[in-house]
């Protein structure tokens, strides 16, 4: 999808769309922020939150990377007391979640890639691997290292509301045989990231609540995200005991361009640790919490 740089003057009138009429969305109380968001000199919009996303196509590639490199990136961008989840053999994880948002409440459709590193926040208890598979870790969440999006309106929303590192770029999502392929491009059209996710796998139901940790105007924020879908999953748990395993095809390709520089620094391995693919996902993303836990607020002092 080509970048959309123009900002429509009005809100998309789709709140009554049947795609948002299911028991997932009925869990959440829609409300406005404290005031409209200024998008440019003339356009202000009073969005509803959490933002609802209906009938989403989602392809996720989860890859192993250098723990030390990921830790330096997280410390530099967030805080030294926020650490990546540690896996075996000196590694952590980066997950590339590729979204085709066909129905967004109040907003035109767009594509997006969230490049997320799982983290533990302000705690000395950081067991390896377990926070990725057990839901009871309150200090667990995700740091978003990069976020190309095809809509300039949504770049502004992400930058100004949450402090997300959104940039407006071309993001193409297509089917290639039995794979879903996502490509992010620089302004000149040069691809800098390609993620290939098998569309087939073992079906698994996900109904998940998690948190994104961001920094806005010097303050650490926590925002809740929720999704529900049946994903076709492929796991490669044996990679916990092996390093730099070769893949039979190119699941990830990282270019030698400006936008890809931080990805090259992470020493991402070529074989995916896990892939997930879903159609018809329901999801939502809320405003930053006004009252964060004391263990997070202490990092803002």
Distances (CA, A) of 229 to 113, 270, 282: 18, 27, 7
Kindly report which listed range (22-26, 87-91, 119-123, 247-251) carries the lowest average pLDDT score: 119-123
Q: What is the pLDDT of residues 270-283, one digit of tens each?
A: 999 999 999 999 99
The residues near 79 (Cβ < 8 Å, ≥ 6 apart) are 122, 215, 220, 299
Domain 18-300 has CATH 1.10.150.120: no
Structure confidence at residue 207 (pLDDT): 96
Average pLDDT of the residues in 106-112 = 98
Phi–psi pair at 253, nearest 5 degrees: -130, 125
Distance, in Å, from the CA atom of 196 to the CA atom of 136, rounded to the nearest integer, reads 31
Structure confidence at residue 12 (pLDDT): 96
Structure confidence at residue 216 (pLDDT): 97
Asked if the model's pLDDT at residue 129 lies above 60, the reply is: no
Asked if the model's pLDDT at residue 218 lies above 60, the reply is: yes
Domain ranges of the chain: 18-300
Structure confidence at residue 132 (pLDDT): 53
56 φ/ψ sector (left φ>0, alpha ψ -120 to 50, else beta):
beta
Asked if the model's pLDDT at residue 133 lies above 60, the reply is: no
Structure tokens at 180: 């879903």
Using CB atoms within 10 Å of the CB of residue 8, give its burial: 0 to 12 exposed, 13 to 18 middle, 19+ buried.
middle
Average pLDDT of the residues in 37-48 = 97
Kindly indicate the confidence band of residue 122, based on its pLDDT and cuts at 50, 70 and 90.
Answer: confident
Kindly indicate the confidence band of residue 213, based on its pLDDT and cuts at 50, 70 and 90.
Answer: very high
Structure confidence at residue 139 (pLDDT): 87
Structure confidence at residue 301 (pLDDT): 86
Distance, in Å, from the CA atom of 236 to the CA atom of 89, rounded to the nearest integer, reads 15
Q: Give the 3-state secondary structure of residue 157.
A: helix
Average pLDDT of the residues in 257-269 = 98
Distance, in Å, from the CA atom of 277 to the CA atom of 262, rounded to the nearest integer, reads 25
The number of beta carbons lying within 10 Å of the beta carbon of residue 270 is 16
Q: Give the 3-state secondary structure of residue 20.
A: helix
Average pLDDT of the residues in 126-135 = 54
């Amino acid at each position: 999808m080509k970048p959309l740089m123009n900002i429509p003057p009005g809100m998309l009138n789709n709140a009554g769309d049947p795609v948002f009429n299911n028991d997932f969305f009925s869990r959440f109380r829609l409300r406005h922020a404290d005031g409209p968001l200024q998008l440019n000199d003339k356009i202000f919009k009073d969005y509803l939150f959490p933002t609802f996303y209906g009938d989403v196509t989602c392809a996720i590639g989860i890859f192993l990377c250098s723990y030390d490199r990921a830790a330096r990136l997280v410390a530099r961008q967030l805080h030294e007391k926020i650490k990546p989840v540690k896996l075996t053999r000196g590694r952590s994880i980066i997950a590339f979640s590729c979204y085709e948002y066909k129905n967004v409440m109040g907003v035109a459709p767009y594509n997006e890639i969230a490049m997320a590193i799982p983290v533990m926040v302000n705690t000395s208890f950081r067991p390896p691997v377990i926070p990725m598979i057990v839901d009871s870790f309150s200090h667990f969440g995700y740091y978003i290292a990069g976020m190309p999006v095809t809509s300039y309106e949504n770049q502004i929303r992400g930058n100004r509301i949450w402090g997300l590192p959104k940039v407006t770029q071309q993001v193409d999502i297509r089917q290639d045989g039995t794979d879903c392929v996502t490509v992010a491009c620089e302004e000149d059209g040069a691809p800098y990231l390609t993620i290939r996710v098998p569309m087939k796998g073992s079906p698994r139901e996900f109904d998940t609540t998690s948190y994104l940790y961001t920094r806005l105007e010097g303050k650490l924020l926590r925002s809740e995200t929720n999704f529900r879908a049946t994903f076709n999953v492929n796991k490669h748990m044996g990679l916990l005991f092996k390093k730099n395993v070769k893949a039979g095809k190119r699941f990830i390709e990282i270019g030698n361009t400006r936008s890809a520089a931080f990805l090259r620094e992470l020493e991402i391995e070529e074989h995916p640790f896990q892939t997930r693919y879903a159609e018809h996902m329901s999801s939502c993303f809320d405003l930053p919490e006004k009252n964060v836990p004391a263990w997070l607020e202490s990092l803002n002092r």
